Amino acid sequence: MKKNIVLFVLFVLPIVAYLFFASGVNSFTTLPVITPKVADFGNWNSLNGKKISLNKKITVLGFGGTNILENRGNYFNLNEKIYKRYNGFEDLQFVILCPLGTEKQAQKIVDALSPFTDVKNWNFVFASNEEIQKFYDGLHLKEKLNKNLETSNVYIVDKERNLRGRKDKKEYKEGYNTFHPSELSNEMLDDFKIILYEYRAALKKNHNATKQL
């Protein structure tokens, strides 16, 4: 009997603990809404010519600004830590909103990613400076865009166009800094799992679970 207990403690218990923590402590909570019902995109052109909308998509949203190439390391971080892990989901898109005139820079980013990444869910969308600023102001965030209309943060927008994040005063988070790979691997990945869990649970409840999520 004692031998069985020892074996359980030494071998089974560590595995159970690992599976529990690997699933994420926040897996069974919900991610608060920071800004409800944000506006959808206007009739703006995308790099690949597709019409991009926030409706019915989980969107990782960024703002590339006028110097996209200077911040290419941020996109590589996001690609490695989040995009490549989840880009197989049909209901997910990554959208970077950029000023008109930066199309060539954006194409260079896509070209640099494409040799080792399926870039089908990377979307660069272009609008005027005024339209970008107005759209960003409508998100009602604490952080402001810089003079180049860029931020290193990306944001999670759910299928109902709600911007999601953390509201707790001690760890308030409306966006995730792509300059820091550790923040993407920890806070963003953890919160992203919560969003996916919510939709999986809803699909299962409605008996229409699909492989999209």
- Cα four-point dihedral sign 121, 35, 56, 127: negative
* Range(s) of the domain holding residue 160: 33-212
Structural domain contains residue 22? no
Decide if pLDDT at 23 tops 50: no
Structural domain contains residue 165? yes
**What pLDDT does residue 141 have?**
97
Decide if pLDDT at 211 tops 50: no
Domain CATH number, residue 140: 3.40.30.10
Structural domain contains residue 182? yes
The total of structural domains in the chain comes to 1
**Taking the model in full, what pTM does it have?**
0.83
Decide if pLDDT at 3 tops 80: no
Structural domain contains residue 13? no
Structural domain contains residue 2? no
Tens-digit pLDDT profile for residues 112-124: 999 999 999 999 9
Structural domain contains residue 151? yes
Structural domain contains residue 150? yes
Structural domain contains residue 15? no
Q: What is the DSSP string of 77-120?
A: HHIIIIIHHHTT-TTEEEEEEEETT-HHHHHHHHHHHTTTS-GG
